[in-house]
Amino acid sequence: MDQRRDFIRKMIMGAAGFSILPAITKAGLKAFGDAPAELYSIDNPYDGIDWTKIIYTPSATHVHIEGQAKLDAIYNRFKLRHIPISNYYPSAPYYPANKIRENNFIIQDFSVVYNPDNAIQGKERWTNAKSLQGPIDWNKIIMDPQSGWYKDLPEDLKERLPIKPGNLLYPNIPKDVIISPNAEHHSFANSPLHACAVGSLYASGNFDVHNDFKTIDHGYAAGTGLPWEKVFAQMLDKLLFKDGGGITINHPTWSGLTFDEVIKMVDFDKRVMGIEVYNDTCATNYGEPERGWALKLWDAVLKTNRRCLGFFVPDHTIGRGKNILLVPQFTEHECLKAYRKGAFFGALSGETLSFTNISLADNLLKVGLNNTAYIRIITNEGDAQKTRAKEVEFNIPLDSKGIPAVSYVRIEATDDYSELIFSQPIRFLK
C-alpha cells in the first residue's frame, strides 16, 4: 500500500515535468484590463456554476457492471450515483437497465460486422467486411442445419444451445441512482483503440467473448470490425441528448495510442470529449502502474490549444477513479450535459477532498477546497504555483497587450490521505 501511495504521489507531483470547438462563455468575451475582447476568448467549463448550490454527483465514464452483486458494490463501496454502465461482449448499452436479462443479446437488434474471409489464413481481416443488420438470432445462426456449425462444437457447448434469456441482471436498482446508456467499443479495423460512447445508444460486436461458440472463426466480429472514424460517426448519431455526453478515448497509454492518433480522434468532432487520464484497472492489475496514467499525454494535447477533457475511471475494479459531476439538478440530462461541458473534476477516491470553488474574474483565478491540501497550478509552461492551503489565488500572466500569456490552466490537489483531484482545463484562445 505504501509503495502504491508513493508511486501515486510521485506521479502527481511530477506530472507537469512530463508534462471541436468549445462553448465559449460570456465571461470569455470580457477582456483583461484594457485588452480588446476580440483578441481572445475563454473556454471555462466552470463558468456559471453556483458552488453553494450544485450537487456533487460521483460518476464514471468507464465501469463494467456484469450483475447485481457488482452494482451493489459500485453503489455501496464505490458510491457512484450516476452510472453509465460500459459493458462489452457485446458492446451494447444496458439500457434501460431494469429490463436487461442474462443472455439479453443472444438475439440482438443491432448489426454485426461479417466477413467470411476472416477465417482464411493470410487474408486481410476486414477488407471485405459488411454489416449484417439486426435482429440477429445467434441460436439460429449457429444451429442452422445448412450454414451453421453446431455439429462441430464440443459436447458441453452443444448442451448450452439454444441459449435462453435468464433472470434480470439488475433486479434491485437503488432509487437514488441514474444509469445512462454507454458501452466500451473495441476491435477497430484500423486502431488498437478502446472507446466509450457515454450517453449513446450505439451497439457493436457479439456475445461470444472468448470465441467459445466459434462465431469469430466463422467471420463475425467480436467488436466493431470497422474503422474508428465510421464508428465515431455512428456513436455520435445515436446520442440520447444532442447537448450531452460524447466519446471518451479509453486508457490511451495501455492501448499504445500515439500522440498523432489521439490528435486525429480529438479533432474528429467536438463531441469527442477527451481521454482517460487515470484508469485504475490498468494502473493496478498489470504490474506497470504508469500504464494507467496519461498525464503526460493530456498536457501534450492541451499544449496544442485543443479541447481535451480528462477522465478518471475504475474500469473493471472497485478501486479508484471517479468523475465528480457538478450538476444543478440530479437528472440524467444534467449529468450528461455536465460531461459535455466539462463541469466536473476527476478524483482517485472522491472521499476526502473536493473543490469548493474554481472561478475566474478578470485575470484572477480563485481555487477553494473543503480541506487543506497541496495545490498545484499548472499551465502549458509547467508548474506555475505550488502551495499548501485551503484557498489559493493565481494571477493569470498577461502579455504586453493585456491578454493571457498562457494557453491553459488546470489545478491538481493532493491531501494527506493519498487523495488526488484534478480540475478540467480552462483554456485561453487567441
12-51 confidence digits (pLDDT tens): 444 433 333 333 443 333 445 555 556 889 999 999 999 9
Angle at 259 between CA 258 and CA 264, to 5 degrees: 100
Task: Give the integer Cα–Cα distance in Å for 231 and 285.
Answer: 29
Is 80 exceeded by the pLDDT of residue 278?
yes
SS3 of 52, please?
A: coil
Is 90 exceeded by the pLDDT of residue 261?
yes
Task: Give the integer Cα–Cα distance in Å for 359 and 373.
Answer: 18
Lowest mean pLDDT among 32-41, 119-128, 256-265, 402-411: 119-128
**pLDDT tier, 4 (very low <50, low <70, confident <90, very high otherwise):** very low
SS3 of 427, please?
A: strand
Task: Give the integer Cα–Cα distance in Å for 430 and 416.
Answer: 38
pTM of the entire predicted model:
0.91
98-133 confidence digits (pLDDT tens): 999 999 999 999 999 998 776 555 455 666 678 899
131-166 confidence digits (pLDDT tens): 899 999 999 999 999 999 999 999 999 999 999 999
C-alpha grid cell for residue 18? 512530463
